[in-house]
Structure 1
Amino acid sequence: MVLTVDVGNTRIKAAVFEGGSILESFVFEKSDFENKIENILKKFQNCTDLVVASVGNIEKQAFLTFEKQLTIHFLTHEDVFPFINKYATPKTLGIDRMVLAAGATLQFPKQNRLVIDAGTCITYDFIDEQDQYLGGAISPGLRLRYEALHNFTAKLPLLTLEVPEHYIGDSTKEAIHSGVVNGFVYEVDGFIEEYRANFSNFIIILTGGDADFLAKRLKNTIFANSNFLLESLNQTFQYKIDND
């Protein structure tokens, strides 16, 4: 069994895999890290490997607490990946984006793939049918958009996600919801349309904390999987074992 752990900007996601099958997934706060990992390992005592992808601020030492129980693997830019990295600044490419690109390459061979990860930030990662990672885009996620309107203006309130009643907001509250939510959806649809216009044999993979919310509102057909990063982490680890 393999325990995969994704340390994000906001929360930690984890999953236990047996082969290619996910047995159980978990989401928890960074403050609960050690207790949650301990509980997972007590429940799944046959775990032999812990695979970590981290863009958050948990130190490696926190994971090494568990090195007597299983082998710990930190994925880095130096590992082998199933795509050719054409990013102009490859060392600055987040390991989470590299794992997503690897998962897309392995799960959907010989296709043009756009991976959209809707989390704290929304990231777009494009891998062409020749398995070349070409890059993408980064923009603020839903929560960051609400926070930015509040933090960088004098009087706009801090709101939480709510579906706008109409695209014409008839109050400050409704105008904010319309701007944030509809702007978010229009952005994603716009990016998808641009890629579709330039590439055929094309698949869109949507993941991240806001994936389900976003999937219901996009006009484009997509493959939505909120666990795609964790699945990709397991697949990338298996690929590393087979190709090291």
Structure 2
Amino acid sequence: MLLAIDAGNTNVVFAVHDGTEWRGRWRIATEAGRTSDEYAVWLLALLQYAGLKPAEIDRCAIGTVVPAALYNLRRLSREWFNVEPLIARSTVEWGFEIRVDRPQEVGADRLLNSLASHHHYKGPLIVIDFGTATTFDVVDADGAYLGGVIAPGINLSLEALHQAAARLPRIGIGRPQAVVGRDTVAAMQSGIYWGYVGMIEGIVRRIQAEQEAHLKIVATGGLAPLFAEGTEVIETIDPDITLEGLRLLAERNPVPILNRTQARD
């Protein structure tokens, strides 16, 4: 079975795939200093609860945009599962071209999203990921990664409003009943929600005009369903697209199981 680890700026998601389906998904807050043993104590308990045995894990794939977290995630795979992990980076075999000026600068999550989206939905397409940042990634009809757009994430924008303006409270995101808010919280929610809907629609329209084609729109991330309610631009929501990218990448790049001596090195 495959242990897929998606380490983002906010959360680390662990998931197990048995070759047919995902058997479990668990998330923990991203802390660069969290040790491999701390991860193990938490994860092994969850595996046991799901009826899974550590010995059943024979592959591991890690995608991270937090370089400082990689060391202990790699040690987790080696020491607790006896598996050399596959690290998602521009130098592995992706099965498609990365047509940008500096491929090494592209976040692993963006390449993983592109790989899985093209595999499942073909192209050309745009993948919108509502994460710590809101990203738009463009995939050509042949699966090539063409680049994209990076914008501040919704929660970052909310926090910036609260911190920079003394009288604006910290609020949660939600779809407002009306565009014109009749109090401060409603006005803030409207500005964030409809402002991001306008950004989504505007960026998608400009990308399609630049590409001179209609591109399918696939959205992922926890807030994707919320924003899909406010626009017809988003055609497909796929919450597992990054994990699917890790699964597909692991199939293309097999890595050997370590023996016990190697695992301690």
Structure-1-length-normalised TM-score: 0.89
| Aligned-residue offset at 1:98 | 1.2
Name the structure 2 match of 1:211. Answer: 224
SS in 1 for 2:138: strand
1:19 counterpart letter in structure 2? G
CA contact (8 A) 1:51 1:233 kept: yes
CA–CA distance in structure 2, aligned partners of residues 120 and 233 of structure 1 = 19
Name the structure 1 match of 2:27. Answer: 27
CA contact (8 A) 1:87 1:134 kept: yes
- Which of 122, 129, 140 lines up with 1:117 in the alignment? 129
- Which of 104, 110, 119 lines up with 2:117 in the alignment? 104
1:36 counterpart letter in structure 2? W
SS in 2 for 1:65: helix
Asked whether 1:44 is paired with 2:46, we answer no
CA contact (8 A) 1:112 1:199 kept: no
Deviations 1:100-122 (A, max 9, x none): 1111232233x201111011111
| Aligned-residue offset at 1:156 | 1.8
SS in 2 for 1:85: coil
2:9 counterpart letter in structure 1? N
More strand by share: 1
Asked whether 1:159 is paired with 2:171, we answer yes
2:22 counterpart letter in structure 1? I
CA contact (8 A) 1:8 1:55 kept: yes
Give the percent of matched residue pairs that are identical in Structure 1 and Structure 2: 24
For 1:157-236, what aligned pairs fall within 5 Å after superposition?
Answer: 157-197=169-209, 198-200=211-213, 202-236=215-249
CA–CA distance in structure 1, aligned partners of residues 94 and 248 of structure 2 = 10
1:226 counterpart letter in structure 2? P
CA contact (8 A) 1:205 1:222 kept: yes
SS in 2 for 1:4: strand
SS in 2 for 1:79: coil
CA contact (8 A) 2:5 2:12 kept: yes
Name the structure 1 match of 2:4. Answer: 4
| Aligned-residue offset at 1:50 | 1.7
Question: What RMSD in Å do the two structures reach over aligned CA positions?
Answer: 2.1
CA contact (8 A) 1:113 1:202 kept: yes
SS in 2 for 1:12: strand
SS in 2 for 1:123: strand
CA–CA distance in structure 1, aligned partners of residues 121 and 232 of structure 2 = 22
Name the structure 2 match of 1:18. Answer: 18
SS in 2 for 1:114: strand
CA–CA distance in structure 1, aligned partners of residues 159 and 152 of structure 2 = 10
CA contact (8 A) 2:219 2:234 kept: no
SS in 2 for 1:135: strand
Gaps of 5+ in 1: none
For 1:49-88, what aligned pairs fall within 5 Å after superposition?
Answer: 49-56=59-66, 57-68=68-79, 69-71=81-83, 72-88=85-101
Structure-2-length-normalised TM-score: 0.83
Q: Report the count of equivalent residues.
A: 241
SS in 1 for 2:171: coil
| Aligned-residue offset at 1:17 | 0.7
